[in-house]
Structure 1
Amino acid sequence: MTRPPLPPFTLETAEQKVRMAEDGWNSRSPEKVALAYSVDSAWRNRATFLQGREEIVTFLTDKWARELEYRLIKELWAFSDNRIAVRFAYEWHSAAGQWFRSYGNENWEFAPDGLMRRRIASINNLPIKEADRLLHWSEPARPMSHKGLTELDL
């Protein structure tokens, strides 16, 4: 199984990979998202360390049970042959109704088959008022007409 686009990346294929990842995460389907990662993929998400798809599915299931109405935008920061760096922001609310905007950076490393074999994420949460939200859409994926991070000055 391969997961195009495959490394080595060009600007066009790196941007495509980033948008595919954004769309996958916005689906909030842990099983679907996990398929983009190698079976032995290694993650660091904040201070949580994961190994393999099964742990990824469990982690994402728990995440999206806590982070309600999750909306994410990713943006390419840099790339090389088999690595991509992204910055991102996402908004969500807790069960108590408190809204947050989470900001972060991810470093990705891909296997030759296009599956991500390493993901390193650093993330910070900022409490916001619901009126201050910027990420508004109802579809699972961000509409192409919705502004990106740079246009939103995030």
Structure 2
Amino acid sequence: MTEQRPPLPPFTEATAILKVRAAEDGWNSCDPQRVSLAYTPDSRWRNRADFVVGREEIVAFLSRKWARELDYRLIKELWATAGNRIAVRFAYEYRDDSGNWFRAYGNENWEFDENGLMAKRHASINDLPIREADRKFFWDRSAPRPAGHPGLSELGL
């Protein structure tokens, strides 16, 4: 049985937006196993200076990430789409174990297989220290970002 993750390519703007929101919701779960299932078994990533191959490495990478990045909240926004590719921009906020807050800004390029699983992910990310008072992402961590919460463009990011 072939795994499928609709929507499937080729993407329209509407289906790409659905795919981006599904990725955002998955990553906001901070559940490495759940997130890994959106990727092909041999998915290839470049995440900053890390090169990750396959679901097992994805789970290990995300486990380390979310052990360091506490109170993680992410917003993704569609930038462009063509065929089986999607480009997004994103920002996320987190704190470290010393209580220092950060906002990470980045861009990702995604390539999907015919079943809607992500086969390639290239991410470029920069971290900016922020004051807790400068945080913009507020929603209950046990649920996805509410529909009424502003996106990146609405927040001026």
Structure 1 consecutive aligned stretches of length 4 or more whose deviation exceeds 4 Å: none
Q: Which residue of 2 aligns with 1:50?
A: 52
Alignment coverage as a number of residue pairs: 154
How do residues 67-86 of structure 1 correspond to structure 2 at under 5 angstroms? 67-86=69-88
CA distance in 1, matches of 2:112, 2:96: 33
CA distance in 2, matches of 1:146, 1:58: 30
Q: What is the aligned counterpart of 1:109 among 108, 111, 129?
A: 111
Q: Which runs of 5+ in 1 are unaligned?
A: none
- Counterpart check, 1:150 vs 2:119: no
Q: CA deviation at 1:18?
A: 0.1
Q: Which runs of 5+ in 2 are unaligned?
A: none
Query: RMSD of the TM alignment (CA)?
Result: 0.5
Q: What is the aligned counterpart of 1:94 among 93, 96, 112?
A: 96
How do residues 17-56 of structure 1 correspond to structure 2 at under 5 angstroms? 17-56=19-58
Q: Which residue of 2 aligns with 1:9?
A: 11
Q: CA deviation at 1:140?
A: 2.7
Q: Residue type of the partner of 1:153?
A: G
Q: Residue type of the partner of 1:57?
A: V
Identity level (%): 66
How do residues 60-71 of structure 1 correspond to structure 2 at under 5 angstroms? 60-71=62-73
Deviation sequence 1:39-68 (CA, Å, 0-9, x none): 000000000000000000000000000000
- Please give the TM-score of this superposition, normalised by the length of structure 1: 0.99
CA distance in 2, matches of 1:106, 1:8: 18
